A and B are shown apart, each in its own frame.
Chain A
């Protein structure tokens, strides 16, 4: 089997071929490496490819020969640079953690190791997962494999680009406001933001702790299910992680809710057209479309850009140059901190830390953080009520296809890309991004994506309807 076919197999297909000994893990790893050698210098998807990947693959093949049959045995995956793998560098694409070596495995990584996965390397991202384009990396931007003048989305842009260019069979990202789903949309792959608490956050570098979730990026919905099931579970190291009994049975009502009031403006006409066509095809398959109202959803982005910086500024206070990372000496103790953090953090991270500091400061707390907390509860209640009537809520994943590198230089215009994705993080609901076709920009086809949001623990519903979308 040639490398191009091997490197673009779904995990599900690769697992079957590995089981029948038609291919080996080493074949898969070599196929991915061939693409890495060909394109990574340009795309900048990986920050580092581990030098022991072939040894990992050979070990997996040996284990299979000995009769081991773990679900992901020998499957090569890419991992976002903010998820800890013991003994490997993990920098969150920041200068402040340039030389940081992870002292332990994230729980999600430990579970994937138990399932037999091979780790190819760590992927580029927006620094500390702050951004929607992977332009905020301290190690240079990642480019979109479909069109190298465009961004791959972010913040898990390296993972999405690696997968879309055949440099991995699957990838891990983290999603605080859309950071798995938006790059999945821009690169034409599947991305899942699980229910808050589904996958342990232990070993994921914290940005917004009440919003963060690790999520898989994959070629198919079946693959997303496979990785999700390998990683989920209650963990004593994350007190917000959920017991497996939380998960609900699959779909019941065949009803899709569409919040049309959110689509009235700001959505690219071609994306909207694909969205309507996808809905129509689902209708032909027997799904009923229901107009739903989420009156507070228009405020979701405003709520998010108060709560996320507030939590991030608190979480990033740990970078003081004492226990790990960059350490600079100034004139005074205050200067030690200010120099270390001023030099170690990039512009977007500093902007969000200052914004978080502002909304949490004594005089403004009630007007911003307090109001946002209240609005978050109202929004959660509205979503919960809607999801009592319908199986999923559908919108496009992003209002437009991938934009040009450098196009959104104003931070607020970049934030608006998250308009459809932040709600699921605020409410804790699971959401899945599935490719829904392509739109043409300057003669190049760019992927577009549809987002499905289900009730808490409703991942089974997302997978079942997601498969129907893939099939149409």
Chain B
């Protein structure tokens, strides 16, 4: 099953929106061409005929472990200060983020 891989300018804008990326108008046309070409190429996978019993589900297995501290194995123990230092905006030990819940007037 093949899809028409040509994406429209509106689709490129929608993708940028979904991906949380600001893309300038001057880039849209180039992205439209590049993404369309790449999708046309990778669309070849549609030609694969599944083997009997070969489902689309990944064979990867979940790995379980005890819910305990790793102790010295994890490099992040006692690294609170370093992690806080990495915050772009910080007040005390808190990361500053935009207020997103507003009271209805």
Contacts and interface: CB of A to CB of B under 8 A. Distances in A.
Nearest to A321: B88
A288 interface: no
A104 B77 CA distance: 9
B82 interface: yes
A326 B74 CA distance: 26
Contacts of B41: 301-302, 305, 412, 415
A343 interface: yes
A373 B75 contact: no
Contacts of A299: 44-45, 47-48
Given A237-B74, A371-B48, A305 B88 contact: no
A323 B79 contact: no
A190 interface: no
B34 interface: yes
Interface in B55-98: 55-60, 63, 65, 70, 73-76, 79, 82-83, 85-89, 95, 97-98
B7 A358 contact: yes
A464 B4 CA distance: 48
B28 to A, nearest CB: 11
Interface string A323-343: 111110110011111110111
Contacts of A351: 31, 34-35
A239 B70 CA distance: 13
Central interface residue in A317, A322, A325, A330, by most chain B CB within 10 Å: A322
A237 B70 contact: yes
A104 B65 contact: no
Interface string B29-59: 0010011011101111111101100111111
Contact of A322 (B27, B31, B60, B97): B97
Interface residues of B, number: 56
A278 interface: no
B20 A324 contact: no
A8 to B, nearest CB: 34
A48 interface: no
A358 B82 contact: no
A210 B59 CA distance: 12
A240 interface: yes
B22 interface: yes
A357 B15 contact: yes
B45 A372 contact: yes
Nearest to A369: B56
A237 B88 CA distance: 26
Contact of A239 (B15, B45, B65): B65
A19 B46 CA distance: 58
Nearest to A86: B75
A406 interface: no
Nearest to B99: A333
A350 interface: yes
Nearest to B96: A322
Nearest to A336: B98
A370 B55 CA distance: 9
B20 A334 contact: yes
Interface stretch (A38-46, A58-66, A360-368): A360-368
Contacts of B57: 373
Contacts of A3: none
Contact of B89 (A327, A339, A361): A327
B73 A236 contact: yes
Contacts of A202: 75
A366 to B, nearest CB: 8
A327 B87 CA distance: 9
A345 interface: yes
6 contacts: A86-B75, A105-B75, A317-B20, A341-B19, A351-B31, A354-B16
Interface of B: 1, 3, 7, 12, 15-23, 27, 31, 34-35, 37-39, 41-48, 50-51, 54-60, 63, 65, 70, 73-76, 79, 82-83, 85-89, 95, 97-98, 100
Interface of A: 86, 100-101, 103-105, 110, 202-203, 210, 235-237, 239-240, 296, 299, 301-303, 305-306, 313, 317, 320-327, 329-330, 333-339, 341-343, 345, 347, 350-351, 353-359, 361, 364, 366-368, 370-375, 377-378, 381, 410-412, 415
Given A326-B88, A351-B34, A378-B51, 8 more contacts: A299-B48, A303-B42, A313-B19, A323-B95, A371-B48, A374-B55, A375-B48, A378-B48
